[in-house]
Structure 1
Amino acid sequence: MTAAGPLIEARDLSVHLPGAETMTPVIDKVDFTVGEGRTTGLIGESGSGKTMIASAVIGLLPEAATVSGELRLRDEELLTAGEKRRRNLRGHEIAMIFQDPLSALNPAQRIGRQVGEILRRDGLPRGEVDRAVVGLLDQAGIPDPERRMRAYPHQFSGGMRQRAMIALALAGSPSLVLADEPTTALDVTVQARILRLLASIQAARGMSMLLVSHDLRVMSHVSHDLVVLYAGRVCERGPTKRVLGRPRHPYTKALLASVPAVREASVPADPLPGAPANPMARPSGCAFHPRCPLARERCKVEVPLAREIEPGRFSACHFAEEVTP
């Protein structure tokens, strides 16, 4: 599919949280776009800032957080929009599928009531809301939706709860869905079904998706574009096939090497040494330099800026040209 243009565009997006002495940029000048009808993946180890970025897009950051930079939905700047406007955008323009549906869904309300909340808020009569909810649950692959809409979250399996979360996210016909690790808590076979479901719904509706994951296999099958994050900064971004096919940042290469080969038993996984950097206390210079095999003195003192190393490919590495596949 050819992108018609960016639906979401972030430039120098930063999120600051209170540190020991001052506000600390846990997300530091991040750039990315999500094209119309496309999926952009945010990938990195735990603590890299993936969920924080998704929370910034939908406007659900902690109260103590401050945000700067640019974040545009089509021609509208979201960071300067009032709370009432951001609330109206949630559900209708931007929706979120949370990582843990058991904690995201209200345990005291029936599934149908939760899925239909935005429809009731829009003033639809009860009969129309119920019919729409049945249709949404059916589209999300929940069998016998007329009966299951009366169930409570604890009466659903993990995969069924995630399908209910998808139905809830789709209720307002959003242009953009933020999927935060939507398959992490599910077994492998259920993961595959949920991913196929998301892909089919996206194709049918022409919606865009920002997918948060630490799973390179998921990204390789689902995303069109990829943003690799480390300690709240972008290491590399570009079309998924090109980023994974020929990484141009040592961190991306290390992530790929850490994934066990499925078809080649002779290629063992090579785990990343060390622990991820803490965005609240990054090392000076390039945050990845304590774990990087290409690190030199320059890397310890100078933060590398993302630069276009080939059309559509950006790398924040002083020595990107030396990174071999």
Structure 2
Amino acid sequence: MSKVTDQVAAELDPEPAPLLQVEHLSIDLPGPAGPVRVVDDVSFTVAAGRTTGLIGESGSGKTMTASAIIGLPPPGAAVTGRLLWHGDDMVTMAEQDRRRLRGRGIAMIFQDPQAALDPTQTIGRQVGEILRRGGMPAKEVRRTVIDLLDRVGIPDPQTRHAQYPHQYSGGLRQRAMVATALAGSPELILADEPTTALDVTVQARILALLRRVRDEEDTAMLLVSHDLRVMAHVADEVVVMYAGRICEVGSGREVLNSPAHPYTRALVVSVPAVRSRTAIAEPLPGSPASPAERPSGCPFHPRCAKAQDRCASEVPRMRQVAAGRQVACHFPEET
């Protein structure tokens, strides 16, 4: 195809603008010796109908990034950078506008549904809260809630909507959280470790449900997880984080099949089922770097088998190593 034809095709079918653009996001938390930077200069985008995965070990900054996006950072957190929602910066947005956006524009599925659900309120009342706030009549709220519970696979929703969280299993509570997120018809769902406390069979069902929601509703999803097997099943794009920084970005298939950053590779080979059922696990050596005591240079260098003198003194910058692939490493793997 000629350059002219390419240009005409691009003009006829332009790339859609991303729903969310995270630009140079940094988050500082108060500490005994002064502010601690737990998220450092993070940038990525999330597009409609796509699932972007944030992955990394505990303490990498994944959940903190999601909390800033939903507008619920920890008390005392200082958030800088830009969070562009359809071009409007949520960092500088008035709180009342953020509240209106929360639930309808952006919804969140929390990691622990038992902690997130109010034990004194019925499931139906909690799922329907955003509908009542929007002025929907009570009878219509009830019908909509029952329909939502049915859509997410909760059996006998006509009865179950009047039950309390303690009457639901762990898998059903997580489905109720998905229904709560869907109630506001959001454009973006943030899912924070949505399958962590569930057994393998229930995990598979929840992941299938999230994929179906994304496909049927054309909903964007930002999935936070430390589990590469989850990402391999769901994520279209993957953002790998370590010690509060991004170390690799690319399509889920490419990043997990041919990781460019030594940290990503170490994660992949530590979970053989991601690539091969017969591979032998290679445990990731050492402990994750603490943001409060982040090593100089590349924060992964104390655990990296490829580290050289430059890695200990110079912070690697993000650079493109292939189409749609970026990595922050002085000596990336061949892709």
TM-score (norm 1): 0.96
SS at 2:19 equivalent: strand
Change (3 A) 1:60 1:262: closer
| Corresponding residue of 1:241 | 253
Which of 11, 17, 21 in structure 2 is aligned with 1:9? 21
Which of 282, 285, 292 in structure 1 is aligned with 2:294? 282
Question: Which stretches in structure 1 are left out of the alignment for 5+ residues?
Answer: none
Distance 1:174 1:95 in 2: 6
Matched-pair contact (CA < 8 Å) for 1:3–1:36: no
Distance 2:276 2:159 in 1: 46
Q: CA deviation at 1:217?
A: 1.3
Q: Which residue type is aligned with residue 71 of structure 2?
A: G
Q: Which residue type is aligned with residue 192 of structure 1?
A: A
| Corresponding residue of 2:86 | 74
| Corresponding residue of 1:306 | 318
Q: CA deviation at 1:11?
A: 1.1
Q: CA deviation at 1:245?
A: 1.6
| Corresponding residue of 1:120 | 132
2:65 matches 1:53: yes
| Corresponding residue of 1:172 | 184
2:216 matches 1:204: yes
SS at 2:272 equivalent: coil
CA RMSD of aligned residues (A): 1.4
Change (3 A) 1:140 1:261: closer
2:66 matches 1:63: no
Distance 1:105 1:169 in 2: 12
Q: Which residue type is aligned with residue 159 of structure 1?
A: G
Distance 1:154 1:9 in 2: 38
Which deviates the most, 256-265 or 236-245? 256-265
Which of 265, 271, 282 in structure 2 is aligned with 1:270? 282
Change (3 A) 1:79 1:183: same
Distance 1:85 1:281 in 2: 36
The percentage of aligned residue pairs carrying the same residue is 60
**Residue by residue, what CA displacement relative to the aligned partner does 1:90-149 show, whole Å, maximum 9, x if unpaired?**
000000000100000000000000000000000111001101100111111101111001
TM-score (norm 2): 0.93
Q: CA deviation at 1:261?
A: 3.8
Find runs of 4+ consecutive structure 1 residues off by over 6 angstroms.
none
For residues 31-110 of structure 1, the aligned pairs below 5 Å read: 31-110=43-122
Distance 2:200 2:159 in 1: 27
**Residue by residue, what CA displacement relative to the aligned partner does 1:148-171 show, whole Å, maximum 9, x if unpaired?**
010000000000000000000000
Q: Which residue type is aligned with residue 210 of structure 2?
A: L
Distance 1:40 1:257 in 2: 21
Distance 2:174 2:50 in 1: 21
Matched-pair contact (CA < 8 Å) for 2:56–2:225: yes
SS at 2:91 equivalent: coil
**Residue by residue, what CA displacement relative to the aligned partner does 1:289-319 show, whole Å, maximum 9, x if unpaired?**
0000111111111111111122211100011
Change (3 A) 1:261 1:219: closer
Q: How many residues align?
A: 322
Q: CA deviation at 1:43?
A: 0.5
| Corresponding residue of 2:231 | 219
Matched-pair contact (CA < 8 Å) for 1:261–1:268: no
Q: CA deviation at 1:22?
A: 2.1
Distance 1:135 1:120 in 2: 16
Distance 1:177 1:112 in 2: 20
